[in-house]
Amino acid sequence: MGRRALRRIEEDLAAGDYGKARDRLHGLIATFPNDLTLRRKLGDIFWHLQYPAMAGRYWYLEEQKTPDMAAACQAFERSCGDDPLQILLALKFRGEIEAIRDTFAGQTLLTLQARAKEERGVYVENGCFDPMEMDRRPPPPAELDEVISAVASAKKYHTLSLDTIRRVAGRELAIYGSVKAATRATRRRLHQIYGAFDREMDYEAAYRRLEAACGAGSDEEIRAVCRELLSRHSSTAERLPILDRFYPAIWEVTGRPTTLLDLGCGLNPLALPWMSLLPDTRYIALDIAADRVHFLNRYLALAGLQPLARCQDLLVHPPDDAADVALLLKMSPSLERQEKGATLRLMEQLRAPFIVVSFAVKSLGGRQKGMVEHYRQQFLGWAAARQWSVEQLLFETELVFIVKHRA
Ligand SMILES: C[S@@+](CC[C@H](N)C(=O)[O-])C[C@H]1O[C@@H](n2cnc3c(N)ncnc32)[C@H](O)[C@@H]1O
């Protein structure tokens, strides 16, 4: 088991680099969830770094606790509002409880599992639960409004679709119960689905640059500006090295669309100069960021297309536009994080004969973690169960599935 990694951790600790040792241990725990000694070590590090509640989180499954450890575990329980569901979710134990059921750790986890089921109505397994299973009584409207306005008033989220904020806030309020904890959790979740991909962008300045390039009538200049703007969103930035080949290869399978649906588009419509679409193409682009959508509509108009971008949450209002091709580029992991099974539910509802679903082959942090094989297995499994015919394209930075789907 990760002996080299353990040696490196010891070296980090000897060199006083507790931050690096902590990060390495997080990675090891994800790979070897059943090895509880790793948790204990991580607890020691958090204690040393003076984060008692975090230390308590990783010491929680230890049977023999010193008085410091017991105090840290109490601090951890308090930070979870003494709620068994929050404690279980925070422990993030992804190992097999059955394999350790006769140990203190196993008994602790099983007791928490039973209490979460009894007190909060949900069954937690592998550190997760299906929120659909939860008692879905709507949260009290006044509390929900409080969470929504606290989140929507932050600069980072003030142009984000209110449908999205309401959907996420409702779910987090159901889990956490208190306005304060739900507000924090809603911000965290919105960062994962929206904030993590963006560099801040001055849309007015970006539009002016595009306008000048279009005014000059130089394709080369338009492409240069689009390229630079595409680099501001991590998804499209990763696509830059393959942009010349990406759309021609897809259209070769689907035919060149005259109506294109780009779902969770990010800045992808700025790749228009590489798409070779006809001038009367209907390019319908949907995303949850109203300021981005407004900018994209101005750009589409500049490029001579109808401004058909819309601010729309795909999970609240699945689109019913008919299209030749629907793009779900690098959307599935985000959709699944938002609602388990969301990708397939959405795909079933789309009115397009071809759906293009793609996946990044590296994580946002740049690590290659067997992602191609993981996504290939997952996606081909989904397709086989539905008897879809699927073409695969593998680019250096993106794995693409083109699904022939009923219209
Ligand atoms: C990983 S990026 C992919 C961007 C683009 N498809 C691409 O590959 O270049 C995810 C995008 O989906 C948007 N998004 C996330 N959840 C969404 C939802 N529920 N409905 C609509 N858009 C969503 C985000 O704002 C973000 O722009």
Q: Is residue 201 in some structural domain? A: no
> Is the beta carbon of 330 within 6 A of some atom in ligand 1?
yes
CA distance 399 to 328: 12
Do 67 and 38 lie in one domain? The reply is: yes
Q: Is residue 229 in some structural domain? A: no
Do 96 and 185 lie in one domain? The reply is: no
Do 375 and 359 lie in one domain? The reply is: yes
| Residue to mutate (ligand 1; options 161, 171, 192, 235; most atoms within 8 A of CB) | 235
Query: Which of 76, 105, 129 is the endpoint of a domain?
Result: 129
> Is the beta carbon of 43 within 6 A of some atom in ligand 1?
no
Do 157 and 267 lie in one domain? The reply is: no
Do 157 and 265 lie in one domain? The reply is: no
Q: Is residue 293 in some structural domain? A: yes
Per-residue pLDDT of the chain (407 residues; tens, 9 = 90+): 567 888 999 999 999 999 999 999 998 898 888 899 999 999 999 999 999 999 999 999 999 999 999 999 999 999 888 888 889 888 989 888 888 888 999 999 999 988 888 877 777 776 666 655 555 566 778 889 999 999 999 888 889 999 999 999 998 888 887 899 899 999 988 988 886 666 678 999 999 999 999 998 889 999 999 999 999 988 999 999 999 999 999 999 999 999 999 999 999 999 999 999 999 999 999 999 999 999 999 999 999 999 999 999 999 999 999 999 999 999 999 998 888 889 999 999 999 999 999 999 976 555 566 788 889 999 999 898 888 999 999 999 999 999 997 65
Q: Return all residues near 136 (Cβ < 8 A) that are at least 6 apart.
A: 174
Count of domains for the chain: 3
Residue 48 sits in a domain of what CATH number? 1.25.40
Q: What is the 3-state secondary structure (H, E, C) of the chain?
A: CCHHHHHHHHHHHHCCCHHHHHHHHHHHHHHCCCCHHHHHHHHHHHHHCCCHHHHHHHHCCCCCCCHHHHHHHHHHHHHCCCCHHHHHHHHCCCCCCHHHCCCHHHHHHHHHHHHHHHHHCCCCECCECCHHHCCCCCCCHHHHHHHHHHHHCCHHHCCECHHHHHHHHHHHHHHHCCHHHHHHHHHHHHHHHCHHHECCCCHHHHHHHHHHHHHHCCHHHHHHHHHHHHCCEHHHHHHHHHHHHHHHHHHHHHCCCCEEEEECCCCHHHHHHHCCCCCCCEEEEEECEHHHHHHHHHHHHHCCCCCCCEECCCCCCCCCCECCEEEEECCHHHHHHHCCCHHHHHHHHCECCEEEEEEECCCCCCCCCCHHHHHHHHHHHHHHHHCCEEEEEECCCEEEEEEECCC
Report the nearest atom of ligand 1 relative to the CA of 267: 9
| Residue to mutate (ligand 1; options 194, 247, 272; most atoms within 8 A of CB) | 194
Do 241 and 328 lie in one domain? The reply is: yes
> Is the beta carbon of 269 within 6 A of some atom in ligand 1?
no
Residue 171 sits in a domain of what CATH number? 1.10.8.10
Do 138 and 124 lie in one domain? The reply is: no
262 CA → ligand 1 middle, Å: 10
Q: Which domain holds residue 363?
A: 235-404
Q: Is residue 206 in some structural domain? A: no
* Amino acid occupying residue 209: R
> Is the beta carbon of 189 within 6 A of some atom in ligand 1?
no
Beta strand pairing status for 354-360 and 325-329? parallel
Do 15 and 55 lie in one domain? The reply is: yes
Do 333 and 367 lie in one domain? The reply is: yes
- The residue behind tokens 């993106």 is 398
Do 312 and 248 lie in one domain? The reply is: yes
CB of 127 closer than 8 Å to CB of 94: yes
> Is the beta carbon of 197 within 6 A of some atom in ligand 1?
yes
Query: Which of 75, 110, 129 is the endpoint of a domain?
Result: 129
| Residue to mutate (ligand 1; options 162, 164, 193, 286; most atoms within 8 A of CB) | 193
> Is the beta carbon of 314 within 6 A of some atom in ligand 1?
yes
Q: Is residue 109 in some structural domain? A: yes
Do 10 and 59 lie in one domain? The reply is: yes
Do 107 and 243 lie in one domain? The reply is: no
Residue 343 sits in a domain of what CATH number? 3.40.50.150
Global pTM reads 0.75
Q: Is residue 204 in some structural domain? A: no
> Is the beta carbon of 398 within 6 A of some atom in ligand 1?
no
